[in-house]
Chain A
Amino acid sequence: MGSLRGFVRIPWLPTPGPGWYASPDVPGGAGMRRLVSVIAGVAAATAAAAAIAEPVVSLKDPAGDDNGPGAYTYPTDAVYKPGSFDILSFDVDVKGSDVVFKVGVRSKIEDPWDSKAWQGNGFSLQFVQVYIDTDRKDGSGTCEGLPGMNVRFRSASCWEKVVLVSPQPKSRLQSEIGQKAAKMKAGVVIPTATRVDGKTLVATVKASDLGGKPAKGWGYAVPLQSNEGYPDSKEVLTRKVNEYAGQHRFGGGSDYACDPHVIDMIVAPGQGGADEVRMQHSALKYSCDDQDKPKVELPMVYP
Chain B
Amino acid sequence: MRRGLLAAVTGAMALAAAPPANADIANFDLAARIYTKWLYRNNDSQGLLNLGTPHPDGDDYAGDNGVGTEFELKFFGRVSKYVQGYARIQSRFGELWQDWWESGNRWYDGETNTSGESGGMNHASYIKLRGTFVRAAIPIPTIDWVTIGSSDLGMFNPWSIGKVRYIDRDNAKGIFLDGHVGDGIFSYNLAVIALPKLYVGPYWSTGLTDPNLPNPFWSADWAYGAKFTVAPSFGTFTLVSTLTNDVEIDRSDPDAVGSLYPDCTDDLGNPIVGCAKDHAVDYFSRYMNSVTTIEAQVEPLSWMSVNAFGGFSAGLIDRKLAANGVERMAGVSPVVYKDTYDFAVRARVELSDPFDIGLSIKAEYFNIGAEWNSIFGARRESDVLLTDGFLEGGQLPTLNLANEFVDFDEPWYESCIGWHGGTLVAQYAIGGFDMSAEGTYMTYNTNAQDRDVETTYPNFLHEDGFTDTDLYDYANTTDRGRDPRSVYHLNQDRRTAIAVLNARYVFDVLGGLELSTKAKFIHDLDYRSHTTASDDYTGDLLTWRGKVGLGVAPGLLVEAGAQIDRWWEKRRDGTLKTGYGDIDTAKHRAFAGLTYEFEGLKFRYAIEFLDKDQFREPRKPDQHWLVFRSKASLEVNW
**Residues in chain A within 8 A of chain B (CB atoms):** 1-2, 4-5, 8-10, 13-14, 16, 20-22, 24, 27-29, 31-32, 35-36, 38-40, 42-43, 46-47, 50-51, 53, 63-64, 76-79, 82, 95, 98, 104, 107-108, 114, 118-119, 169-172, 174-175, 177-179, 192-193, 195, 197-200, 202, 204, 206, 230, 232-234, 243-244, 246-247, 255-257, 292
Contacts and interface: CB of A to CB of B under 8 A. Distances in A.
A172 B603 CA distance: 12
A170 B551 contact: yes
A244 B154 contact: no
B538 A199 contact: no
Interface in B469-514: 495-497, 499, 501, 506, 508, 511-512
A64 B184 CA distance: 10
Contact of B588 (A10, A28, A177): A10
A47 B357 contact: yes
A197 B434 CA distance: 11
A204 B431 contact: yes
A174 B555 contact: yes
23 contacts: A5-B624, A21-B538, A27-B523, A46-B430, A46-B433, A50-B430, A76-B178, A82-B231, A107-B236, A169-B512, A171-B551, A171-B595, A172-B597, A174-B553, A175-B554, A175-B597, A192-B431, A192-B506, A192-B512, A197-B360, A198-B305, A230-B637, A246-B29
B135 interface: yes
B568 A20 contact: yes
Interface of B: 2-4, 7, 26, 29, 31, 76, 78, 81, 84, 86, 135, 145, 152, 154-155, 163, 178, 183-184, 187, 231, 233, 236, 297, 299, 302-303, 305, 350, 352-353, 356-360, 381, 426, 428-435, 437, 439, 441, 495-497, 499, 501, 506, 508, 511-512, 519, 521, 523, 525, 527, 536, 538, 540, 549, 551-557, 559, 564, 566, 568, 570, 584, 586, 588, 595, 597-600, 611, 613, 615, 624, 626, 637-638
Given A20-B540, A78-B152, 10 more contacts: A4-B626, A16-B566, A21-B570, A35-B501, A43-B359, A50-B358, A64-B183, A79-B154, A171-B555, A204-B432
A63 B299 CA distance: 14
B363 to A, nearest CB: 14
Contact of B598 (A13, A175, A177, A197): A175
Given A9-B588, A14-B566, A169-B557, A27 B4 contact: no
A195 B555 contact: no
A103 to B, nearest CB: 14
A91 to B, nearest CB: 10
A113 B4 CA distance: 28
B3 A255 contact: yes
A13 B357 contact: no
Nearest to A53: B356
B31 to A, nearest CB: 8
A183 B586 CA distance: 53
A177 B497 CA distance: 46
A178 B154 CA distance: 36
Nearest to B297: A108
Contacts of B163: 78
A27 B638 CA distance: 54
Contacts of A5: 611, 613, 624, 626
A95 B559 CA distance: 30
Contacts of A42: 435
A198 B357 contact: no
B499 A171 contact: no
Contact of A32 (B360, B499, B538, B552): B499
Which 4 pairs of residues, A with B, have the shortest CB-CB distance?
A175-B555, A198-B352, A171-B551, A78-B154
A9 B430 CA distance: 36
Nearest to B609: A8
A193 B506 contact: yes
Contacts of A255: 3, 26
A47 B597 contact: no
A27 B495 CA distance: 8
A214 to B, nearest CB: 17
Given A4-B611, A22-B538, A193-B506, A43 B428 contact: yes
B545 to A, nearest CB: 13
B86 A39 contact: no
A28 B597 contact: no
Given A16-B566, A36-B439, A233-B2, A195 B135 contact: no
A232 B303 CA distance: 37
Contacts of A200: 352
A98 B508 CA distance: 12
A35 B521 contact: yes
Contact of B512 (A16, A170, A178, A233): A170
B3 A257 contact: yes
Contacts of B439: 36
B153 to A, nearest CB: 9
A64 B183 CA distance: 9
A119 B84 contact: no
Contact of A24 (B499, B525, B598): B525
Nearest to A49: B430
Contacts of B553: 171, 174
B554 A233 contact: no
A43 B358 CA distance: 11
A294 to B, nearest CB: 13
Given A39-B499, A108-B305, A170-B511, A233 B599 contact: yes
Most A-side CB within 10 Å, residue of B29, B430, B434: B430
A9 B611 CA distance: 9
A171 B305 contact: no
B599 A193 contact: no
Contacts of B2: 232-233
A158 B27 CA distance: 37
A2 B3 CA distance: 59
A24 B145 CA distance: 57
B595 A50 contact: no
A246 B74 CA distance: 13
A27 B431 contact: no
B240 to A, nearest CB: 12
A79 B555 CA distance: 27
Contacts of B536: 24
B521 A47 contact: no
A8 B611 contact: yes
Nearest to B80: A244
